[in-house]
Amino acid sequence: MKFFVDTAEIDAIAELNDLGMVDGVTTNPSLIKKSGRDIIEVTKEICDLVDGPVSAEVTATDAETMIAEGRKLVEIAENIAVKVPLTWDGLKACKTLSDDGHMVNVTLCFSANQALLAAKAGATFISPFIGRLDDINLDGMELIEDIRTIYDNYGFETQILAASIRSVNHVLDSARIGADVITAPPAVIKAMVNHPLTDNGLDAFLADIKAAEIKIL
């Protein structure tokens, strides 16, 4: 499974990237706003930092302007994936940009039917939003499973990018089902290392080391 980091904070990306935990990055206007920086400037810096795809989102809602914005965004770096919404205009933009040879991430997916349309339009990535479905008492993981089944049935190459990841359990369940990619905030990725038995075991080891006065250096 590939790990994308869902942030525009350079330091957080760099820390995970140094550990080999970053296969790509997803950003959106809200994350860029939170960083307090210019969208082009921060996106270029992220692209220079990581080798994998960096999703940069259009701000328009009509196909023609989305396409124009997408073509401007891909000028930033070769690893830009243009992020478009799962609307009819977004699918039009996806088709055009994909035909141009650019990576496209179709976002805000909440149904398997939507995911099927995105694959037909040539999307590189489809981003189903797990957490937001859970928020309205629907099963986000069921959507991931449905998309996986449909894509496998017909050999679609569109990668399932599980988004709106809220917890380490979301990561685990996505991996079990077979999502190609998860995108999560740095805090969720770092939380995957935590387990109470690891902490308890380490405390016991440290106590034994102290009692035995063991030193290596």
Annotated catalytic sites, by residue? 83
Q: Which amino acid is at 7?
A: T
Rg (CA), the chain: 20
Distance CA 76, CA 48 (A): 10
Phi–psi pair at 121, nearest 5 degrees: -85, 0
Distance CA 168, CA 192 (A): 6
Distance CA 5, CA 205 (A): 33
